[in-house]
Amino acid sequence: MAAAAFGGFNAAMFVTLQRDLKSTPLPVSDDPRWARIVARDKSADGEFWYSVATTGVYCRPSCPSRQANPANVQLHDTLAQAKATGFRACRRCTPDGPSLEAGNAAMVADACRRIEQGEEEPSLAELADAAGRSAGYFHRVFKATTGLTPKDYAAAHRAARVRQGLEDGASVTAAIYDAGFNSSGRFYEKSTGMLGMTPTRYRAGGANEDIRFAVGETSLGTILVASSRKGVASILLGDDPDALVRDLQDRFPRARLIGGDRDYEALVARVVGFVEAPRFGLDLPLDVRGTAFQQRVWRALRDIPVGSTVSYAEIAERIGSPRATRAVAGACAANAHAVAIPCHRVIRKDGALSGYAWGAERRRALLDREADGTATAADRPSRA
């Protein structure tokens, strides 16, 4: 009777149909994993794989290749299932090898070693050939990873070798050629930017360079402002005036440190005034010394308006090196110009405050004061 009532469709057949419906996979475009493929989600790598019938390859979710038609895509829970299709591994994302990110990191690390260990600076073509990549792709990945082009990285490495040679007592000529410069002329063209002074002066630890300084007091503690003939070379914050002077001596070990006169104390008063009332801004000539990458970061920091904060990742994006977040944090830590180069306005992506060279409490106090004064804060911090 029951079977007849349903046109021959009995209970056993209903159970079978129900089971078949449960085992039928969703269309790929409706599967949540497809959205992760479209987003090239690196966190999905290793969780599943996919293959594309029209190209005959299988990939990891973060594959940078052109997006496939989901009608031609099959999803796989394991790498073994992806291989069982008989398709080949994608050459762009190497799904059965290290992740693309790890592979690129290893490629850049190898290139850095080649630059550091080479007698002469390798060309972009030579570095790309060694990595098995096109020059354009290699250049983009290198800059995104290190924050510098290969050429800039090589220049920074040579500058560091020159500094080390001069500090170790080598003659200027020996330090120049040992660092890989083919001629002294090429080095001298850029020596002031690299060292902040002539190589002879640097070798003497800044000997004969006059650094004027004065110490002041703010509601956040002691402040020391020091200047060379180019501009303000350091702004240091702390609790102990003697400790700040020792810090300055360490930064300029053989320079002549000269206590500021009344006119110079007026400069210190301007900096103190900014600490107490940030809304008025601070416009000072700066003597900024650092690597090419550090200088790019510091320029970006000076573009952060009073009362605003950005993340390290945002700064990395702004300078065109989105993967160099850690290097950005390192440049912030190396900043010698408290408040003038406002590294206190750079925070973690989750909004938390990370380390600050002059103390976490001072950072919070500075940010609170700047937030309170945003209504009249039209000026930006100083530029070199």
Residue 337 lies in a domain: yes
Say if residue 44 is exposed, middle or buried (CB neighbours under 10 Å; 0-12, 13-18, 19+). middle
Please name every residue paired with 346 in a beta bridge, in sequence order, or none if there are none: 310
Contact 144, 107 (CB under 8 A): no
pLDDT in tens, 260-276: 887 788 888 989 988 88
Residue 352 lies in a domain: yes
Contact 46, 93 (CB under 8 A): no
Tell me, what's the pLDDT at 367? 93
Same domain, 150 and 199: yes
Tell me, what's the pLDDT at 196? 52
Residue 7 lies in a domain: no
Cβ atoms within 10 Å of 50's Cβ, excluding its own = 25
Averaged pLDDT score across all residues of the chain: 79
Q: Is the pLDDT of residue 37 over 90?
A: yes
Question: What would you report as the CA-atom Rg of the chain, rounded to the nearest whole angstrom?
Answer: 30
Q: Is 343 a catalytic residue?
A: yes
Residue 20 lies in a domain: no
Tell me, what's the pLDDT at 313? 92
Give Cα separations from 321 to 115, 122, 326, 345 (angstroms). Answer: 20, 22, 11, 19
Residue 182 lies in a domain: yes
Same domain, 196 and 214: no
Among the candidates 230, 252, 280, a domain finishes at 280
Same domain, 132 and 185: yes
Same domain, 178 and 152: yes
Same domain, 225 and 244: yes
CATH number, domain at 260? Answer: 3.30.160.70
Q: Among candidates 231, 189, 188, which has minimal Cα distance to 212?
A: 231
Residue 362 lies in a domain: yes
Same domain, 199 and 219: no
CATH number, domain at 171? Answer: 1.10.10.60
CATH number, domain at 335? Answer: 1.10.10.10
Same domain, 196 and 220: no
Q: Is 112 a catalytic residue?
A: no
List the single range of 8-12, 20-24, 139-143 with lowest mean pLDDT.
Answer: 20-24
Say if residue 58 is exposed, middle or buried (CB neighbours under 10 Å; 0-12, 13-18, 19+). buried
Structure-model confidence comparison of residues 167 and 336, the more confident one: 336
Same domain, 323 and 361: yes
- Which range marks the domain in which residue 68 is found? 28-89
Q: Which residue has the tokens 């080390």?
A: 164
Among the candidates 255, 280, 305, a domain finishes at 280
Q: Is the pLDDT of residue 143 over 70?
A: yes
Tell me, what's the pLDDT at 22? 43
CATH number, domain at 45? Answer: 3.40.10.10
Give me the mean pLDDT over the 69-89 stretch. Answer: 93
59, 93, 112, 332: the catalytic one is 59
pLDDT grade, residue 222 (50/70/90)? very high
Same domain, 198 and 214: no
Same domain, 116 and 193: yes
Same domain, 83 and 122: no
Residue 246 lies in a domain: yes
63, 90, 93, 343: the catalytic one is 343
pLDDT grade, residue 227 (50/70/90)? very high
Indicate the number of domains in the chain.
Answer: 4
pLDDT in tens, 41-76: 887 888 899 999 999 999 999 999 999 999 999 999
Tell me, what's the pLDDT at 260? 81
Among the candidates 138, 169, 203, a domain finishes at 203
Residue 65 lies in a domain: yes
Same domain, 196 and 219: no
Give me the mean pLDDT over the 349-373 stretch. Answer: 87
